Amino acid sequence: MQEAVATPAAPPAGRAGRPRIPLGRKLLAYVALTKPRVIELLLVTTAPVMVLAAHGIPNLWTVLATLVGGTLSAGSANAFNCYIDRDIDRVMKRTQKRPLVTGDLRDVEALAFAWISGAVSIAWLWFFTTPLAAILSFAAIAFYVLIYTLILKRRTPQNIVWGGAAGCMPVLIGWAAVTGSLDWAPVILFGIVFLWTPPHYWPLSMRYKEDYASVHVPMLAVVRTRTAVGMQVVLYAWATVACSLLLIPIAGMGVLYSVSAVLSGAWFLLESHRLYANAIRDGEIKPMRVFHASITYLTIVFIAVGLDPLLHLAIPLP
């Protein structure tokens, strides 16, 4: 007699016949939905600003509460973005591992998470920091979802320029959480991040030009030549560095910040000009070098923002 061949058991099915996702994998999917690497960079710009606002070590509970609220706020905005862009994410290669593409999360789960985390973030910041911080958090979510994701992203190559304003809001939120108000210093810091966003993101769009073109998203690298994109990267990089130097007289920054801003800015400009030079000569371009350099540059500048006031306290001026 011929022996029957045993077939492997299928994974247990949930409702509607969908494979049941293990709890650990489901939790990791929710984390991925928030785009944690983006949140990490946002938090790097929040905590140092709070030190500058307090002219020293701020209340540690306020710092913790702001970082928790900021994480929930950014996670909410990113979850809305993943939900709205799930159609193009399923086509683009760089987004194939996002949880709504892999099926680790259902659309309704992502949308519920976005609404709940957003509401909790605003309430949290209102009660544990300041009302102004909560209002700015709401504005950041609304701007990123309504203005950038729904209106700008698929309609104009200037999407990153104006949509990037949402990514600048943690600077204002951190300052408002400490002081309950705003001043010129956080406005300058807002300007640094605002001007930094295009030369940070446009090199990434050069690397994934075909991906964006395949889903008809008019990133600058899709609709303009690489020479034109390189020129824009250079111009915005210069504007970013110039804005960072404005903080020195506006906020009374010392030697540590000044040296850090100048040296890291010079390196950022060098990488930007190298990208443009190679684009003009039709040589091999490495846009991700500028992308990674931009992250390092911003990190150095904001670490210096936080350390400079502490240095003043440790070494008081005569």
- Express each pLDDT in 258-286 by its tens digit: 999 999 999 999 999 999 999 998 778 89
Domain limit, last residue, from 180, 196, 229: 180
Residue 70 inside a domain? The answer is: yes
Residue 9 inside a domain? The answer is: no
Domain limit, last residue, from 165, 180, 195: 180
Judgement on whether residues 174 and 35 belong to the same structural domain of the protein: yes
| 173 alpha-carbon distance from chain centroid | 14
Judgement on whether residues 135 and 225 belong to the same structural domain of the protein: no
Judgement on whether residues 135 and 164 belong to the same structural domain of the protein: yes
CA distances from 313 to 56, 58, 307 (A): 7, 13, 10
| Residue 3 pLDDT greater than 60, yes or no | no
Measured distance CA(190)–CA(162) in Å, rounded: 13
Q: In the predicted model, what is the mean pLDDT of the chain?
A: 91
Mean pLDDT within 124-135: 97
Residue 10 inside a domain? The answer is: no
Residue 146 inside a domain? The answer is: yes
Domain limit, last residue, from 162, 180, 198: 180
Mean pLDDT within 134-163: 95
Q: How confident is the model at residue 2 (pLDDT cuts 50, 70, 90)?
A: very low
Mean pLDDT within 152-169: 92
pLDDT at 316: 56
Judgement on whether residues 187 and 99 belong to the same structural domain of the protein: no
| 1 alpha-carbon distance from chain centroid | 65
For the chain, the domain total comes to 2
Range of the domain at 226: 183-318
Lowest average pLDDT, out of 14-23, 139-148, 274-283, goes to 14-23
Under 8 Å between Cβ of 283 and 240 = no
pLDDT at 285: 85
pTM given for the model = 0.90
**Element spanning 201, H or E:** helix 184-207
Mean pLDDT within 5-13: 43
Under 8 Å between Cβ of 276 and 235 = no
Residue 245 inside a domain? The answer is: yes
CA distances from 101 to 82, 97, 98, 106, 280 (A): 9, 6, 5, 9, 38
| Residue 224 pLDDT greater than 50, yes or no | yes
pLDDT at 17: 54
Lowest average pLDDT, out of 22-31, 117-126, 182-191, 296-305, goes to 22-31
| Residue 167 pLDDT greater than 50, yes or no | yes
pLDDT at 311: 86
**Strand, coil or helix: 13:** strand
Residue 165 inside a domain? The answer is: yes
CA-nearest of 237, 236, 206 to 222 is 206
pLDDT tens figures, 45-81: 999 999 999 999 999 999 999 999 999 999 999 999 9
CA-nearest of 273, 307, 290 to 52 is 307
Judgement on whether residues 154 and 250 belong to the same structural domain of the protein: no
Under 8 Å between Cβ of 240 and 198 = no
